[in-house]
Amino acid sequence: MKKVIILSLVCLLIFAFTVSCKPKAKQAPPPPPPQVKEQPRVEKVEPAPVVKKPELSEEEIFMAKSLDEINRQHPLKMIYFDYDKYFVREDAKPALEANATWLRKYKTAKILIEGHCDDRGTEDYNLALGDKRAKSAFDYLLSLGIAQDRLKTISYGKSQPLDMGHDEAAWQKNRRAQFTIIEK
């Protein structure tokens, strides 16, 4: 009988052990919480103060440029003359008036009025004619109220042609008064 009791105890222990080791039923994981769409946060951000670059006046821009830069822009218009003449033509007066307006705008600017001729005639004759052409433009600007100390003249005669041709079209381009800014 002792064997039966021991055997029943062993069976009971095995049974208890298998029952306790039995895998538990797997539980399904809980469902995820419902997603709530978050409203984007609107943060009131103060805009950074806009730093404006100081705007330069036309006078300041003018003063910042070199004389070469200004002369390359050709703010002053050339005028042309008839053959062997030095009187200001009617079609040249608007150009001289525009030049006077520019000079009134830039009150410190000084200009050189260059008298030029075509290649016909002697050097001495063309130097004298170029001088008369420059002086004629000078006088017209004086009559428009430009101060004499802002204007200088020079004659180049036929030594600096714009057009090297030897026909009327080339000669017309070379009979001129040209304006160069020499001081700001």
Q: What is the DSSP string of 83-128?
A: TT--SPPGGGHHHHHHHHHHHHHSTT-EEEEEEE--S-S-HHHHHH
Residues 76-132 pLDDT 10s = 999 999 999 999 999 999 999 999 999 999 999 999 999 999 999 999 999 999 999
Instruction: Evaluate if residue 34 carries a pLDDT over 90.
Output: no
The stretch 136-164 carries a mean pLDDT of: 96
In order of their start, the domains of the chain are 77-171 (3.30.1330.60)
pTM (two decimals): 0.69
Residue 146 dihedral angles phi and psi, to the nearest 5°: -85, 135
- Report the DSSP beta bridge partners of residue 183: 110
Three-state secondary-structure class, residue 80: strand
